[in-house]
Structure 1
Amino acid sequence: MDRQQILDLYEWRTGICFRHPAKGEVPTTVVGTVHPRAGGERPVLGCADCVIAIEDMRREEAARAGEEYVPGQVDKAAG
């Protein structure tokens, strides 16, 4: 799959990327969830560059583990 095909697997909304807050509001998707001490859940949002970087790491890890790589599940892998 190419970059755009992978990005198309996600639902995007305007937000602040957890890793690149200086970019300001950009298209983001949920890449994980944090559980603050005060309780509840908060989504962690990532920009397209971060999603591709995370997908690349997932693909490499799957290859090392001899497992199938399935793109489009960054938010599930983090949980």
Structure 2
Amino acid sequence: MIVSDLLPMLQSLSRADKLRIMQFLVAELAKEEGVTPLESGTAYRVWSPYGSHEAAHKLAKLLEENQETENA
């Protein structure tokens, strides 16, 4: 089956079926890329600049430089 035959069939699907197809395709692409999908109910550590004075200082400096560049 070629894409030009597949697209009209996909357009006729219900919203729920379209979402299932998207989930399937994303999972297939992730497998091909070797990406491990996130699992529901699992806690993942995420870095945050909250409470990081160094990050706040760098961000403020970048914003100042950007403002100076735009005003020049």
Q: Using structure 2 for the length normalisation, give the TM-score.
A: 0.34
Q: TM-score, normalised by structure 1?
A: 0.31
Report which structure shows greater RCO (CA 8 Å, sep ≥6): 1
Instruction: Give the number of the structure whose residues are more often strand, by fraction.
Output: 1
